[in-house]
Amino acid sequence: METWVTEKHQKESLAALKRLIDIPSVNTADGTSFPPFGKAIEDCLTEALVICEALGMTTYHDPAGFYGYADYGEGEELIAILCHLDVVPAGDLALWETDPFQAVVKDGVMYGRGSQDDKGPTIAALYAFKAVVDAGFTFNKRIRFVFGTDEETLWRCMAHYNLKEEQPTKGFVPDSAFPVTYAEKGLLQAKLVGPGSSVFALDCGDAFNVVPGNAQYQGQDAQQVSQKLVELGISQTLANQTVTVSGKAVHASAAGQGINAINQLATGLVQVHPHSILQFLAEKVGTETNGFRIFGEVKDEMTGELTFNVATIKVDETKSEIELDLRIPVSYPAADLAAILEKTAAAYGLTYEEFDHVPALYVPKESDLVQTLMAIYQNKTGDKAQPLTSGGATYARTMKNMVAFGAHFPNTKSLAHQANEGIVLAELFQAIDIYAETIVQLCCEEE
pLDDT tens for residues 70-102? 999 999 999 999 999 999 999 889 999 999 999
Domain pair 7-185+361-443 / 186-358, same fold: no
Q: Does the pLDDT at position 271 exceed 50? A: yes
Q: Does the pLDDT at position 439 exceed 90? A: yes
Give me the phi and psi of 268, to 5 degrees please. -90, -40
User: Helix, strand, coil % (nearest 5) of the chain?
Assistant: 35, 25, 40
Query: Three-state DSSP class for 274?
Result: coil
pLDDT for the residue numbered 432: 98
The residue-averaged pLDDT of 258-266 equals 97
Q: Are 69 and 62 in contact (CB under 8 A)?
A: no
pLDDT for the residue numbered 447: 40
DSSP-assigned letter for residue 426: H
pLDDT tens for residues 309-363? 999 999 999 999 999 999 999 999 999 999 999 999 999 999 999 999 989 999 9
Q: Does the pLDDT at position 435 exceed 90? A: yes
pLDDT tens for residues 193-238? 999 999 999 999 988 999 999 999 999 999 999 999 999 999 999 9
Q: Does the pLDDT at position 173 exceed 90? A: yes
Confidence label for 1 from pLDDT (cuts 50, 70 and 90): confident
Question: In the chain, what are the domain boundaries?
Answer: 7-185+361-443, 186-358
Q: What is the DSSP string of 17-69?
A: HHHHHTS--B--S-SSSSSTT-HHHHHHHHHHHHHHHHTT-EEEE-TTSSEEE
CA 421, CA 413: separation in Å to the nearest integer?
A: 10
Residue 445: count other Cβ atoms within 10 Å of its Cβ. Answer: 11
234-265 as b/e: b if 16+ CB within 10 A = bebebeeeebbbbbebbbbbbbbebbbbbbbb
pLDDT tens for residues 378-406? 999 999 999 999 988 899 999 999 999 99
pTM equals: 0.82
> Is it true that domain 186-358 has CATH number 3.30.70.360?
yes
Q: Which of 344, 232, 349 is nearest to 291 (CA)?
A: 344
Highest CATH level, class, for 7-185+361-443: alpha beta
pLDDT for the residue numbered 114: 98
The residue-averaged pLDDT of 33-41 equals 98
CA 388, CA 407: separation in Å to the nearest integer?
A: 13
Q: Does the pLDDT at position 32 exceed 70? A: yes
The residue-averaged pLDDT of 144-150 equals 98
CA 174, CA 180: separation in Å to the nearest integer?
A: 10
CA 333, CA 336: separation in Å to the nearest integer?
A: 6
CA atoms within 13 A on the CB side of 310: 30
Residue 107, phi-psi category: left (phi > 0), alpha (psi -120 to 50), beta (remainder) = left
